[in-house]
Amino acid sequence: MSQFTYTANPSRVIFGSGTLSQIATEVSTQGFTAAMILCTPYQVDDARRIEHLLGAKASHIFSEATMHTPTSITEKALAIVENKKVDCLVSIGGGSTTGLGKAISIRTGIYHICIPTTYAGSEMTSILGQTSQGLKTTIKDPRVLPGTVIYDVDLTKTLPAGLSATSGINAIAHAAEALYAPDSNPIIRLIAREGIRALAEALPDIMKDQESHDARYKALYGAWLCGMCLGSTTMSLHHKLCHTLGGSFDLPHAETHTILLPHTLAYNCPAAPTLDAELAELLPGGYSSGIEGLNRLLDQLNVKRALKDFWFNEDDIDRAASIAMENQYANPRKVEREKICELLRRAWAGEPARVDG
């Protein structure tokens, strides 16, 4: 048995149905009096609901959270934080809103209560990705973690089936990379396996009935576990490519993860010899190959499989590969530029992933 180090996630987690109703108690218990509520322009109604629950303790709604966390938006929010003397942040939404809450929190030390409405998993990580001048960079710091995370299954029932699918595959990506991360350990691998299995079972059921309580519960549970994996291990090639395409080419976050995941896992299979069989065991369908099982799962979810569907041009593959070769993330297989170009070409074209030697 090899030695390993496991660091537990210190966030306080409230999980269940109707748990949003506990937000006022949570803010009061922590002793806060001026909470700024963060959301995207599309989730103002959710923010107003929180404002109503908080009453006088709600200071301001900032509704400009944006994909890939541009530093210009963070700076705009920081000016309001100072002006309103905010002592608590409440973010509601997916990765964009969570990212903004993290960006403000690490700069100010203000306590962050996060209420996820997707399966992005960012709320469980000490990682903050930010975009400035067309480049996305990441930092990893324990201070980035939200202090409290409130998971309310009811909030996910209105998440459209298509977005549920891509958000859920995004979460699976967090756990899949933890299976071969250089700093993984038996505890995280157990959590990763459970998270992947839960989401892979739940997502097809959500496509059939997006308001299924059982499927939504299992998916949110799986997303929580997958987020813990990302927050506990080192990111690899998959996340490097997603950060490259998101930060430098403005591709949508969850959809990019969904398209790239089978290709990046297939790339690493030769250097992670148990990966394909392990995925096959976790994914539904009884396939002998995990990569084939993942291909079929994405087909079943009816998600877009080609980067060209999101205005990524074939001529950009070379530039994307060059960016991905810089400041590489730890990866089990050597990252070779020619092979990365081919990986991106397959993803651009929407071809099924396959394992090459």
Q: Do 81 and 59 touch, CB atoms closer than 8 A? A: no
pLDDT tens readout for residues 245-259:
998 999 999 999 999
Residue with tokens 């490519």: 241
Q: Do 228 and 191 touch, CB atoms closer than 8 A? A: yes
Residue with tokens 């960012």: 122
This prediction has a pTM of 0.91
Q: Where are the domains of the chain?
A: 12-156, 161-349
Domain 161-349 CATH superfamily: Dehydroquinate synthase-like - alpha domain (1.20.1090.10)
3-state SS, residue 117: coil
Distance of CA 271 to the CA centre of its chain: 25
Q: Do 169 and 208 touch, CB atoms closer than 8 A? A: no
Distance CA 288, CA 277 (A): 7
- Reading the block at residue 31, the tokens are 């002793």
pLDDT tens readout for residues 105-116:
999 999 999 999
Distances (CA, A) of 169 to 63, 166, 196, 261, 298: 26, 5, 9, 8, 9
Reported residue count of the chain is 357
**Which pLDDT value is given to residue 247?**
86
Q: At what angle do helices 237-249 and 253-268 cross, to 10 degrees?
A: 150
DSSP conformational letter for 293: H
Q: What DSSP element (H or E) covers 166?
A: helix 161-178
Beta bridge partner(s), residue 111: 88
The one-digit pLDDT tens for each residue of the chain (357 residues) are 578 888 887 889 999 999 999 999 999 999 999 999 999 999 999 999 999 999 999 999 999 999 889 999 999 999 999 999 999 999 999 989 999 999 999 999 999 999 999 998 889 988 898 999 888 888 889 899 999 999 999 999 999 999 999 999 999 999 999 999 999 999 999 999 999 999 999 999 999 999 999 999 999 999 999 999 988 899 999 999 999 999 899 999 999 999 999 999 999 999 999 999 999 999 999 999 999 999 999 999 999 999 999 999 999 999 999 999 998 999 999 999 999 999 999 999 999 999 986
Q: Do 227 and 175 touch, CB atoms closer than 8 A? A: no
**Which pLDDT value is given to residue 114?**
98
Q: Any idea which fold 12-156 has?
A: Rossmann fold (3.40.50)
**Which pLDDT value is given to residue 317?**
98
- What's at 65, amino acid-wise? A
Distance CA 81, CA 100 (A): 12
**Which pLDDT value is given to residue 99?**
95
Distance of CA 139 to the CA centre of its chain: 15
**Which pLDDT value is given to residue 197?**
98
Q: Do 117 and 155 touch, CB atoms closer than 8 A? A: yes
pLDDT tens readout for residues 120-162:
888 998 889 899 988 888 888 989 999 999 999 999 999 999 9
Alpha helices (runs of H) in the chain, residue ranges in sequence order: 23-29, 44-54, 71-84, 95-108, 161-178, 186-208, 213-232, 237-249, 253-268, 275-282, 290-301, 317-325, 337-349
**Which pLDDT value is given to residue 258?**
98
